[in-house]
Amino acid sequence: MRVLLVTSGYPPEHSGSGRRLHETYVRLRAAHPDLAWRVLTRRRGDAAVDGPETVTAVPAPASSGVLAQPGIWRREAGAVRRLLAAGLLAGVDLVHCAGFTWLTPAVARAARGQGIPVVRELTSQGDGGVGRSLGGRLFAVPVRRLNRLASLLIAISPALGRDARRAGALAPLWVRPNPTDLSRFSLPDPEERRAARERLAALLPGLEEGHPVVFQLGRIRPLKNQLLTVQALRLLPREFRLVLAGPAFAEDREYLERIRREAAAPELAGRVAVLADYLPDPERIYRGADLLAFPSTHEGLGNVMLEALCCGLPVAAARIPGVTDWIVRPGENGALCERTAEDLARALVRARDLLPRRETLAGEAAARFGAGVLDCRLWDMLAALVRGESPRGDNFQA
């Protein structure tokens, strides 16, 4: 089977959906050696990554605001036309696209015109095709058209699945959490925990074993709300520490500087570490951390919640209906809160009270989110599509 992946970013550049697709296809090829894939992406880092046959990149725009969309569409649609003429779909059995860029509609239309099935993965709030603002309603029009081209829709949260159906998508729909690689994300043994705490102590001077470390992972941008986490730390007992990690693109540099200024306050001295870069091995921090903060303003799901839970970290998350309340079970594996520093601080304290349940919490998360079962199901669906069949099964939601 030969697959074309279309995504807004691909490793080594930071992209949650791109990273997850890459890891999924590496695992699938280990089980199915005849699998091969190539990538079309909007961004591309300088380093190489093992796995795909090729990675073709269209340079990313400096801005993705609503007013910039017509120009971005012309540039990216033109690039796709040239790539298609050069044989982008030659030998491809299936197209798998995650999220939305202007690269995707042209590829999907061309694929369906050639009888190639298209898997459309809904990964962020706008992907369901329901606009919630003026700009969102304008953007929803091409998204709905794209969703109607799909042979199979995969929604990573119930909210996205409901949006797609409300917006008129009729393709078979599979609602499932993102698969989590348990070989990387699992409860650390005592030696792994000790080594991880030593690494954190180098970032957080004076860190002691009893000090709870809060971890927040994700691109540094207002949507992820890292500034709120720093503000919440001010309200917590002094033994709490915080590690923020994730890349900051040029358009978010001002936000990063606000975070750094806030973290430099005298009462937070030595309590905050800001790692403003792509983190290829977040499990090294998960193993030494104690809690995950997830105060995003909106999300399609949030891989980091699944990874943290599989590592035994309770999650303090902002309440996003159909997203965080699908994953976080208050009093069992974390706490939900409103987006205020005071409520996030209270949620972190409630989550800390669950630390004696870490082993149980990690086991339950592995059963819900482990990649093994989800990868097998995905492969069965891809193979059915390539055979010209419509995938069916109990996990579909209408």
CB 250 within 8 A of CB 292: no
**Average pLDDT of the chain to the nearest whole number:** 91
pLDDT (0 to 100) of residue 42: 84
pLDDT (0 to 100) of residue 278: 85
Query: Rounded to an integer, what distance in angstroms lies between the CA atom of residue 107 and that of residue 118?
Result: 9
pLDDT (0 to 100) of residue 398: 33
Residue 97 pLDDT > 50: yes
Q: What average pLDDT does range 52-77 have in this prediction?
A: 76
Query: Rounded to an integer, what distance in angstroms lies between the CA atom of residue 30 and that of residue 34?
Result: 9
Residue 25 pLDDT > 50: yes
pLDDT (0 to 100) of residue 318: 98
Asked, colleague to colleague, whether 2-179+370-386 and 190-369 share their fold, the answer is yes
CB 134 within 8 A of CB 307: no
Which of 66-70, 74-78, 83-87, 97-101 tops mean pLDDT? 83-87
Query: Rounded to an integer, what distance in angstroms lies between the CA atom of residue 190 and that of residue 228?
Result: 32
Q: For tokens 């919640």, what's the residue? A: 305
Residue 366 pLDDT > 70: yes
pLDDT over 90, % of the chain: 73
pLDDT (0 to 100) of residue 241: 98
For the segment 266-281, what is each residue's pLDDT rounded down to a tens digit? 999 999 999 999 888 9
For the segment 234-261, what is each residue's pLDDT rounded down to a tens digit? 999 999 999 999 999 889 999 999 999 9
Residue 396 pLDDT > 50: no
Higher pLDDT: 117 or 301? It is: 117
What's the Cα-to-Cα distance from 108 to each of 115, 213, 247, 351, 395, rounded to whole Å?
Answer: 10, 44, 30, 43, 25
Q: Provide the β-strand partners of residue 350.
A: none
Q: For tokens 């998204």, what's the residue? A: 143
Higher pLDDT: 119 or 135? It is: 119
User: Which residues, including other chains, have CB under 8 Å from residue 146's CB and lie 6 or more apart?
Assistant: 100, 104, 105, 108, 120
CA-nearest of 186, 130, 147 to 322 is 130
Residue 64 pLDDT > 60: no
Confidence of residue 72 (pLDDT cuts 50, 70, 90): confident
What's the Cα-to-Cα distance from 300 to each of 223, 275, 346, 384, rounded to whole Å?
Answer: 12, 24, 25, 26
Q: What average pLDDT does range 384-389 have in this prediction?
A: 96
User: Which residues, including other chains, have CB under 8 Å from residue 286's CB and lie 6 or more apart?
Assistant: 185, 188, 196, 215, 307, 308, 311, 313
Q: What average pLDDT does range 315-330 have in this prediction?
A: 93
pLDDT (0 to 100) of residue 128: 86
Instruction: Give me the residue spans of the domains in the chain.
Output: 2-179+370-386, 190-369
**Helices assigned H by DSSP within the chain:** 16-31, 69-85, 103-113, 134-149, 158-166, 190-203, 226-234, 253-263, 283-286, 303-310, 324-327, 341-352, 358-369, 371-386
CA-nearest of 23, 15, 6 to 247 is 15
Q: For domain 190-369, give the CATH superfamily.
A: Glycogen Phosphorylase B; (3.40.50.2000)
Q: What average pLDDT does range 225-230 have in this prediction?
A: 98
Residue 167 pLDDT > 70: yes
Residue 293 pLDDT > 80: yes
Query: Rounded to an integer, what distance in angstroms lies between the CA atom of residue 14 and that of residue 284?
Result: 17
Confidence of residue 134 (pLDDT cuts 50, 70, 90): low
Query: Rounded to an integer, what distance in angstroms lies between the CA atom of residue 206 and that of residue 308?
Result: 24
pLDDT (0 to 100) of residue 208: 93
Q: For domain 2-179+370-386, give the CATH superfamily.
A: Glycogen Phosphorylase B; (3.40.50.2000)
Confidence of residue 59 (pLDDT cuts 50, 70, 90): confident
Q: For tokens 């303090």, what's the residue? A: 316
